[in-house]
Amino acid sequence: MRALVPLVALCVASCAYPRRSTPLSEVADVSDIDAPADLWRLRFTRAVVPPRQRGDRPWDEDGTPPDPFVRLYRGDRQVYESPIAHDTLTPAWDDALTENLRLPSTRELRIELWDDDGVGLPEPVGVWRGHGLPRTALPGADARVMLEGTAEVGFVVMPPRAYRGTGITEYEVRPDALHVLGVIPLSPAGRAGIVPGTDILAIDGETVAELGDRAIGKLSMAASRRSTLTLRHSDGRREDVRLDSGYVWKAR
């Protein structure tokens, strides 16, 4: 038990710093913004399900229609699941909208349609496989893919959401540094080379120790002001970087 005391003391000392994040504000109109390549949102709109399962079996034991939902995979990773539409062969969704997704043409994309009967495991309805988005999926236009098993799924390709902000998702406020714990790569902070483990020592020539509580506000405004940050990287290297005032793009 004695051996645990130093470990507990170390944890208390290292976890005592308050944590903050820099705010983000969504850009309302992205129609004239050049988004990063292969970054999109998908809005699933509808599907068509065959009247019966393969082997001419009913979808549910009581003879009611299926309860369809969509899953989206990039490679082997599931990146989205839609709400369930109940008791219908022609489901329609109003809120089946993904987050910003990186969908490069070199990565396998898989759209799966499932039936959730609410009792056992979901039953597969059909699947579409390809690399990147289908060629027929043009931005802003209705698109559809035919699945194995004669089902189909419709969706719309939409521009990604853009934000304004610095792009640091979490940091510790220490007496002489703002210690970065999380960064959005496609952001002013990420583009400046800030990564988890980086210490921000000064903002526009004022040290964090000199700024005190004002350091939090100055970091939040650092991108819009195109501030110069003095950094100390995890290898001890120091450098000054100037943030751009460009957009923040969250991406999965």
The CATH number of the domain holding residue 178 is 2.30.42.10
pTM for the model stands at 0.85
Q: Please check whether residue 24 is in contact with residue 168, taking contact to mean a CB–CB distance below 8 angstroms.
A: no
Q: Is residue 19 part of a domain?
A: no
How many degrees, rounded to 5, is the angle at CA 120 between CA 59 and CA 96?
70
User: 92 and 186: one domain?
Assistant: no
Which helix H or strand E contains 48, and what residues bound it?
strand 39-48
The reply to whether 203 falls in a domain is yes
pLDDT 10s digits, 11-48: 444 558 999 999 999 999 998 899 998 999 999 999 99
Task: Specify the number of domains making up the chain.
Answer: 2
In a domain, residue 141? The reply is yes
Which own/partner contact pairs does 213-217 have at CB distance under 8 Å and 24+ positions apart? 215/173, 215/178, 216/20, 216/173
Domain closes at, from 107, 135, 158: 158
- The average pLDDT across 225-236 equals 97
Can you point out the beta strands (E) in 159-243? 163-165, 168-173, 178-183, 199-203, 206-207, 228-232, 238-242
For 116-140, b/e burial (b = at least 16 CB within 10 A) is beeeeebebbbbbeeeebbeebeee
Q: Are 224 and 151 members of one domain? A: no
Tell me the mean pLDDT in the region 177-191.
98
Question: Both 95 and 185 in a single domain?
Answer: no
User: How does the average pLDDT of the chain come out, rounded?
Assistant: 92
Question: Which pLDDT band, with edges at 50, 70 and 90, does 118 fall under?
Answer: confident
Q: Which two tokens stand for residue 110?
A: 């898989």
Residue range of the domain that includes 172: 163-242
Distance CA 91, CA 80 (A): 17
What tens digit of pLDDT does each residue of 87-98 get? Answer: 999 999 988 999
Residue 131, CA distances (Å) to 74, 108, 148 in order:
9, 4, 16
Is the C-alpha dihedral spanning 199, 205, 210, 216 positive or negative? negative
Which position has the higher pLDDT, 150 or 247? Answer: 247
Report the pLDDT value the prediction gives residue 188, as an integer from 0 to 100: 98
- Provide φ and ψ at 189, rounded to 5°: -65, -45
pLDDT above 70 for 148: yes
pLDDT category, 200, cuts 50, 70, 90? very high
Instruction: Clarify whether residues 135 and 198 are in a common domain.
Output: no
